[in-house]
Structure 1
Amino acid sequence: MTLTEGAAERERFAERPSSRYGPRRAHARRSKRRRRLRRAVLVVLVVPVLVAGGTYGWAESRLRRDVDLGAYGHRPPPGAGTNYLIVGSDSRDGLSEGDVEDLHAGGGGGRRTDSMMLVHTGAHGATMVSLPRDSYVTLPGRLDTLTGKTKRPERDKLNAAFSYGGPELLAHTVERNTGLRIDHYAEIGFAGFVNIVDAIGGVRMCLDRDIVDEKSGADLRKGCHTLDGRQALAFVRQRHQEREGDLGRSKNQQKFLSTLAHQAARPDTLFDPLRAGPAAQAGLDTLIVDEDMDLRDLGTMFRAVRGVAGGQGKQINVPVSGIGVPTSKGNVLTWDARRSARLFDDLRHDRPVTERGETTRRR
């Protein structure tokens, strides 16, 4: 009997209902696969991190728990369910000068973010809400680190909070303007994003038009493509080709994040050590989380994002009433006060979300 014939014979034996051992062993194998899947932890937010079996302790030790969500005090009371703030920053940690040039990641001082998403999990599933960086919000009073003086609350773009005070001020600003308590925070920089996408073999995206943007480096053609890390970063950063500007970019980021979460969770990625291992290290090396975050929290967050990608959740933008509204801080997006308040109230009380996130255009 040849090796091929032998394998076929063993497979037929395993499928026989009368076999004393075949079904039991097959069931055991299926149960073992399910247990492995439950143990696997991926984070996306572009932040997918795989941690399975014996790598758990190693991964726990590499988490950078740098963010103190209570640094500014005066936080909203805990609500029902759990709220995660997922941020993509322009951190260049891990990039060489050549990488910075190739990724169009240079220019500008300070620390910025192009991507902010609020993910809520609770009794009614997951809801992912994009918070455009140009949202016109109230920044809380704070100590100005440049002057040493206390600044009064002021209106500015949401992205400015990250630039002025990093993750702590950003989380505090989101809490103040939504009334939601941020339970966990996850941030990944340029290098981590690129490396994760490359580690899982790229992300398949279908575009309805050509996208060419000099500032982000995007040069993509209409149709379906597997984007590598550099192309993916350019795609989620570009906004000048979007009719709705920053709001359009937020929609692209939601679409990409969901696709990435769905693809990273495929069995052939989860259990392929040549792909899962590099993805885990790529994510953990540049991932920044809050002080109370652990791998179980990351796993819950990932499953929420993956669920939204699979249609088991809601994916919306914060309701916007104005796009490109001129202010002393530049052109901004204004939230629809009534509808956004209703959305955040539903999330705070873990009620089913009825808001669709459609935009009332006003300039």
Structure 2
Amino acid sequence: MNGDDPREDPRKRRVPPSGRPGGPAVPPQGRQVPPQRRPVPPVDPRHRPPGAPPRDDRRPPAPAPRPGDARPSPEDGPTVRYNPAPRRGASHIEPTQVLHRGNSGDQPLAYSQMPVERVEPRRPPPPQRPVPRREPPRHAPTQRPVPHHDAVPPRRTPPPVDAGRQPRAPRRRGKRHPFRWLMVLVVLLTVGLIAAVVHLDNSLTRIDALPSYSGRVGNTPGTNWLLVGSDGRSDLSTEQQQELATGGDVGNERTDTIMLVHIPGSGPTTMVSLPRDSYVSIPGHGKDKLNASFALGGPELLVQTVEEATGVRIDHYAQIGFGGFASVVDAIGGIEMCLDEPIVDPLAGLDLAAGCQTLSGPQALGYVRTRATPTADVDRMNRQRAFMAALLKKATGAGTLANPFALWPMATGVAGSLKVDNGDHIWNLASLGWAMRGDTVTTSVPIGGFDDTEVGNVLLWDKQRAIAFFEALAADEQIPEELITR
């Protein structure tokens, strides 16, 4: 019917032509034109004729496909559905139109395959609430008091920074290191002390004092020093000789004071006086006075004579002259001595009253040299030991060591006036003074008497007691009390 050819493809359906009621306009074959929507005038939902039923804006569901209709394929592209216009009377018939798939003119679409345009349902506008009407106030509004403020003066703007000058960066405060300066001070003191020790060590006068001969006494325990007081005057001026009352030049250098100091491994130090007139055997010269060995062969012959007479090996040697002795005493402010009797000796320039008094350098030199007493050399040895102990005690005391104005002159005076062996140093002398700072046993070699010989009046040792005396020193033992001479 309507001209449909049953031999054609059943998917092809004729569509009524444009202008007829119930059918859309058909575009030319081979050209796809999107369907045109007929404009619908807006309808006010509030305006409705009286007696008209409420309008339902929802679109009726699409009719279900009929049997035999061709279904759209995914390959055919989007399906355009026809939205029929409102039906008109039966007297208006529109011509049949044919729609084709994908703009191809060989496959027309059926009426049921026309694309359907989805129209969103219209939503009614939200109901409007009536705005309440406000009546104007019948009285004046309440007035609030306004606080009074004085006029604020304008803030002064600082002058701009000079463009040519760059602002300085804030200084960074360094951390304080209180111990840094302490360490610097300690380092400086250490360096200064080392420099002072080196200077004093170089100030010492070194000589060959310790001999090397066949049959020399072997090493003995402990440390043994030989201290010698020389009467040499060659280093003194005429004024100094008159001040010290040395009596002028007497030829070869001699010694008035000879002491043997033994420092044990433990226990008190022992200081032994060796009388200068002791009658002993001098190697190569026969028997003579002890101080004659110094005049004949110098320090080396004196050391060899003492070692052979005592059996004790000498480890260190120190010699001091008249001028050095007096300068050391003056450097530490004098030495206080207590005299039982007054001493007057014009040859030694000495005039001392009885009692305790401080001796100056020249007075101390005359005090240890004089023999103007009843027992002559024996009294002199006792005074020498007492004075040497007092001198070392004050030199190593806290008052002297803590006072650089007293320590430095004393150290320089000792270093400048001493003669030591080539192997001795200033620290060896310091150990000697430290060993004698405390209690010291002072004694003399056991004396047997005096005798007149071809060399003059000499002092004889008590052989039996002297042998036991020096054997105790050689063995680093304390001397028996019965052998000590006070």
TM-score computed with the length of structure 2 as normaliser:
0.58
1:304 and 2:304 correspond: no
- In the other structure, the counterpart of 1:320 is 447
User: Match of 2:236, SS?
Assistant: coil
Cα deviation, residue 71, structure 1? 4.6
Determine if contact 1:339/1:355 at 8 Å carries over to the other structure.
Answer: no
Count of residues in correspondence between the two structures: 298
Cα deviation, residue 286, structure 1? 1.5
1:189 and 2:321 correspond: yes
Of 334, 339, 356 in structure 2, the residue corresponding to residue 207 of structure 1 is: 339
1:125 and 2:268 correspond: yes
Structure 2: which 5+ residue stretches go unaligned? Answer: 1-178
Q: CA–CA distance in 1 between the matches of 2:404 and 2:482?
A: 40
Question: Which has a greater percent of strand?
Answer: 1
- In the other structure, the counterpart of 1:113 is 255
Q: For residues 224-277 of structure 1, what are the alpha-carbon distances to aligned partners after superposition, in whole Å with 9 as ceiling and x for unaligned?
A: 111000000000000122x22112111100000000111111212112222111
Determine if contact 1:89/1:190 at 8 Å carries over to the other structure.
Answer: yes
Paired residues for 1:265-284 under 5 Å: 265-284=396-415
Paired residues for 1:241-280 under 5 Å: 241=373, 243-280=374-411
Q: CA–CA distance in 2 between the matches of 1:343 and 1:355?
A: 10
- Matched residue type, 1:318: V
- Matched residue type, 2:443: I
User: Match of 2:457, SS?
Assistant: strand
Determine if contact 2:350/2:366 at 8 Å carries over to the other structure.
Answer: yes
Q: CA–CA distance in 2 between the matches of 1:170 and 1:207?
A: 32
Cα deviation, residue 103, structure 1? 1.1
Q: CA–CA distance in 1 between the matches of 2:428 and 2:367?
A: 28
Cα deviation, residue 295, structure 1? 2.3
Determine if contact 1:93/1:189 at 8 Å carries over to the other structure.
Answer: no
- Matched residue type, 1:181: R
User: Higher relative contact order by CA 8 Å / sep ≥ 6: 1 or 2?
Assistant: 1
User: Match of 2:258, SS?
Assistant: strand
Paired residues for 1:149-188 under 5 Å: 153-188=285-320
Determine if contact 2:208/2:300 at 8 Å carries over to the other structure.
Answer: yes
Q: CA–CA distance in 2 between the matches of 1:268 and 1:341?
A: 41
User: Match of 1:332, SS?
Assistant: strand
**Which 4+ residue blocks in structure 1 deviate beyond 6 angstroms?**
none
- In the other structure, the counterpart of 1:57 is 198
Q: For residues 64-123 of structure 1, what are the alpha-carbon distances to aligned partners after superposition, in whole Å with 9 as ceiling and x for unaligned?
A: 221231254532111111110011111225421011122111242111111111000112
Determine if contact 2:272/2:443 at 8 Å carries over to the other structure.
Answer: yes
Structure 1: which 5+ residue stretches go unaligned? Answer: 1-24, 40-50, 142-152
Question: Which has a greater percent of helix?
Answer: 1
Q: CA–CA distance in 1 between the matches of 2:396 and 2:359?
A: 17
TM-score computed with the length of structure 1 as normaliser:
0.77
Of 272, 288, 294 in structure 1, the residue corresponding to residue 419 of structure 2 is: 288
- In the other structure, the counterpart of 1:144 is none
Sequence identity percentage: 43
Q: For residues 20-64 of structure 1, what are the alpha-carbon distances to aligned partners after superposition, in whole Å with 9 as ceiling and x for unaligned?
A: xxxxx9xx9xxx9xxx9xx9xxxxxxxxxxx95541111111222
